[in-house]
Amino acid sequence: MVYDVIIAGSGPAGLTAAVYCGRSLLKTLVIAGSVPGGQLMLTTEVENFPGFEEPILGPDLIQRMRKQGERFGAEFIQDDLTSVDFKTRPFKVNTTGTTYETHAVIIATGASAKWMGLDSETRLRGKGVSSCATCDGFFFRGKETVTVGGGDVAVEDTMFLTKFVNHATVIHRRDALRASKILQDRAFKNSKISFIWDSVVEEVLGQQKVEGVRVRNLKTGKQHVLKCDGVFVAIGHEPNTAVFRGQIELDQKGYIVTSNGTSTSVEGVFAIGDVRDFQYRQAITAAGDGCRAAMDAEKYLEEKGLRAH
């Protein structure tokens, strides 16, 4: 059996693509992953996804989107993608247990935030530890936050947080920021932002929620506790594209290169969401990508005379 479309990934991008592919009567398989749902599964309340007057939990939003895709006939398997073959047609997509064939592929495997690697950070993720200031900054109105990092994203996130928080502290392991000069100038002029140089977070403090961080100076070895209500980790994201290396064009950072909408370097393969977008990284922009890719895939199948029905 050959599918019309296989969608790799089950975050907002992949699930929206599933809805549109299903409604277009394309025979659609979603490889959801053994840990499905994408980064929204790590988010508590979502307030910026249109259509929800009250906040909705990230996992609940994902569940609703999946049920909508299933209602329109998309099949789901909870398995991990292990390899692909885009050099033969139909394309071959391999999981841990099975090989599937398809005329078109929509890649929605997303990107994973880089974390500090602390047990306390993992335990308090979603309870004051976040990797997305634009997603969660609103919840820290009138509070104190810490941003870990020194690049453009760290400074931009901190500037954004100052719209809500009383004060934001940037902790950076070097003695100077890596961010662009214009961003540095803005941050240094912002009275709500302070900096701790040559330092790392050794531990995030708190049991049920973030209450502070233990900071260590890399040059002196001295430690101190800084009280805060939230920790935003901004040390980068890594696209989940390892399985596609050698099969499709990636940029220097590993993101999939797209053109003409959602098309990749391989005709019939499309990429959407955070796996190609390192700028916006929002659930709603990923969902919009999912719509576009489904329409692009349907048009491709029609033009090639490949769709099954």
Q: Comparing 2-112+237-304 with 115-233, is the CATH topology the same?
A: yes
Determine the Cα–Cα distance for residues 266 and 177; give it in Å rounded to an integer: 39
Q: How far apart are CA 274 and CA 268, in angstroms?
A: 19
pLDDT at 260 over 90: yes
Architecture of the domain made up of 2-112+237-304: 3-Layer(bba) Sandwich (3.50)
Residue 135 a catalytic site member: yes
Is 90 exceeded by the pLDDT of residue 38?
no
CA distance 294 to 130: 31
Q: Where do the domains of the chain lie?
A: 2-112+237-304, 115-233
Q: Output the pLDDT for position 246.
A: 96
Instruction: Write down the residue that tokens 């659930």 correspond to.
Output: 283
Where does 6-98 have alpha helices with state H?
12-23, 58-71
291 is catalytic: no
Q: What is the CA radius of gyration of the chain?
A: 21
| Residue 23 near residue 295 (C-beta atoms within 8 A) | no
3-state SS class at 284: helix
Tokens at 293, concatenated: 């890719």
Given 136, 157, 229, 277, the catalytic residue: 136
Among candidate residues 4, 21, 132, 277, the one labeled active-site is: 132
Assign 42 a pLDDT band (cuts: 50, 70, 90). low
Torsion of CA 171, 174, 179, 181, to 10 degrees: 110
Q: How many CA atoms lie within 13 A of 48 on its CB side?
A: 15
Give 135-193 pLDDT, tens digit per residue. 889 999 999 999 999 998 899 899 999 999 999 999 999 999 998 899 999 999 999 99
What are 92-118's pLDDT values in tens digits? 999 998 999 999 999 999 998 889 999
Q: Under CATH, which number does the domain 115-233 receive?
A: 3.50.50.60
